[in-house]
Structure 1
Amino acid sequence: MSPKVALQYLLPHRLLTSLAYRMARIRTRWFKDWLIGLVIRQFRVDMAEAADPEPRNYPHFNAFFTRELAPGMRTADPDPATLVMPADGKVSQVGRIEAGRIFQAKGQAFTAAELLGDEAMAAPYADGWFANIYLSPRDYHRVHMPWTGTLVETLHVPGRLFTVAPWGVQAIPRLFARNERLVCHFDTDFGPMCSVMVGALLVSGVESVWNGEEIPPYAHKPVRRDWRGRNITLARFAEMARFNYGSTVILLFPRDAVTLDTIATETVTRLGRRLGQVNALR
């Protein structure tokens, strides 16, 4: 085990992430302008894509990091039968769920039941499809809907906050099934669909459009919320949630309802591009 991987096991994940949460909301002008400028330079953030391209206008770092895109900067694939990419970022993996297992990286896998924290809710995805999209610090940090869905249930699963950078994904077993995450179950006209917002080291929070801030607080036991009957329906390409720092979103689909495209690992993608095809509606 390399020293940087060993360090991931030793670091006080929640303490460091809580500190990052507070720092990201400091409104002292010189500090927040310095931090925003540092990230723009370090990660080559393209502010021309932002609804407000002036970095100094953001009241704190988190407002900058969760910035809106300018109107028309992203559009959905014009074919209404296609699933669309939920976010800007890089494709970590896209493929089939084989015997209930999701491929993470060479020599690494985890089960859908581990990821979702519930064997019964994972059952519809046996031998189905998954897509794993990594959002780097330079990316747009809002996650959108790949298809129109009505919210059924969420489950906040407690866990670690390992890095989700590519080197960590390759080295840390079952990483995505071990990190703190918000599991969002939807009902669609092709069947169930799941979107999992996976936290990571220094990821200071997850917010949903229907309930605001979901993480923190950090969970000590699973927190389940039933949204049936609330009529929370989000359209294809609509915003669903956001990370208050870069992380990973994982999508799950049933076996026969859709077919995902073959997309190479590390492919740079953008919100709204084609992810796959819906085969049949109920």
Structure 2
Amino acid sequence: MIQGLYRLMIELTNGKWTSSLLRRFARSRASRFVVPSFARIYQLNVDEMEKSVSEYPTLHDLFVRTLKNESRVIDRSEDSVVSPVDAVIEDIGPIKETSEILVKGKTYSIEEMLGDQEVLSKYLNGTYMILYLSPSHYHRIHSPVDGTVTKQWTLGAKSYPVNKLGLKYGVRTLAKNYRVITEVKTSFGHVAIVKVGAMFVNSIETTHKGSELEKGGEMAYFSFGSTVVLLFEKNTFQVEAAIQTPKDIKVGEKIGVIHK
């Protein structure tokens, strides 16, 4: 029953007012009473948390928790691209010349997702990767590459579920949800890191300072589960051969290599 309540609360609520109320509750001191049960239901790895469960004063603090040093090992190979999040890689594929991608049998438009014609042209015929974070995942977002932020912008208002069912049956969730897009210039081309909200308007917070990003360095966090879409320019990225979707992945693990 409790698990069903959490699923209803986190995965199905998307209205402006209900989301606002839930957001306020998650940040309130009253929410501390559900922290232990949430950690238990979603089987959070308490051994890697920087604090014990009892030390989180609100549910929001638990969602955006940091980890102990060395909990994640970053692949430092010069040509590697690493996972920016703990997540499930749900889909990988080509971006068509028309800007379309096919995800769970549904067609999405990269043009609509990015909302910028000039930026879009770089990624036509490139590669996309979709990483889904459930409520149980560590919610901090790290840079998949070394590079310089050239542009960052926000689009969308409402946020609908972006889990497997949301991707399959939702209405253009990846292209319509509230999202924060960061474009990074690297030594091999540009990478767009699209952080897609699952619920709660403004549930994505950037944390990096300045324009320089280091591979594996923290750059943002989600409140609640969500999705990251990575976009690579044509002929710049090769997916790690061992990856078959769906694939559980952690921050810093190698997801592919670059082509300079």
Shorter-chain TM-score above 0.5 = yes
Deviations 1:148-197, CA, capped at 9 Å, x for gaps: 12111112102331111211111124220011111111111112111011
1:40 is aligned to 39
2:21 is aligned to 19
Unaligned runs of 5+ in 2: 1-11
2:251 partner amino acid: L
2:226 partner amino acid: S
Q: Does the CA-based 8 Å contact 1:89-1:136 persist in structure 2?
A: yes
1:234 aligns with 2:213: yes
2:259 partner amino acid: N
Q: Per the alignment, do residues 178 and 238 of structure 1 end up closer, same or farther by CA in structure 2, a change over 3 Å counting? A: same
4+ long deviations beyond 3 Å? none
Match of 2:251 among 271, 278, 281: 271
Matched positions, count: 247
1:13 partner amino acid: G
2:71 partner amino acid: M
Alpha-carbon distance between aligned partners in 2 of 1:69 and 1:45, rounded to the nearest angstrom:
12
Q: Per the alignment, do residues 186 and 24 of structure 1 end up closer, same or farther by CA in structure 2, a change over 3 Å counting? A: same
Match of 2:239 among 247, 251, 260: 260
3-state SS of the aligned residue for 1:124? coil
3-state SS of the aligned residue for 2:85? coil
Alpha-carbon distance between aligned partners in 2 of 1:274 and 1:117, rounded to the nearest angstrom:
29
2:77 partner amino acid: D
Same amino acid, percent of matched pairs = 28
Q: Per the alignment, do residues 12 and 70 of structure 1 end up closer, same or farther by CA in structure 2, a change over 3 Å counting? A: closer
Q: Does the CA-based 8 Å contact 1:109-1:173 persist in structure 2?
A: no
3-state SS of the aligned residue for 1:152? strand
Q: Does the CA-based 8 Å contact 2:102-2:108 persist in structure 1?
A: yes
Alpha-carbon distance between aligned partners in 1 of 2:28 and 2:115, rounded to the nearest angstrom:
35
Q: Per the alignment, do residues 210 and 78 of structure 1 end up closer, same or farther by CA in structure 2, a change over 3 Å counting? A: closer
Alpha-carbon distance between aligned partners in 2 of 1:198 and 1:16, rounded to the nearest angstrom:
19
CA RMSD of aligned residues (A): 1.8
* Per-residue deviation, 1:260: 1.9
Q: Does the CA-based 8 Å contact 1:104-1:174 persist in structure 2?
A: no
Alpha-carbon distance between aligned partners in 2 of 1:173 and 1:158, rounded to the nearest angstrom:
13
Deviations 1:178-225, CA, capped at 9 Å, x for gaps: 1111111111111211101101134761110147xxxxxxxxxxxxxx
Alpha-carbon distance between aligned partners in 2 of 1:26 and 1:84, rounded to the nearest angstrom:
35
Q: Per the alignment, do residues 21 and 186 of structure 1 end up closer, same or farther by CA in structure 2, a change over 3 Å counting? A: same
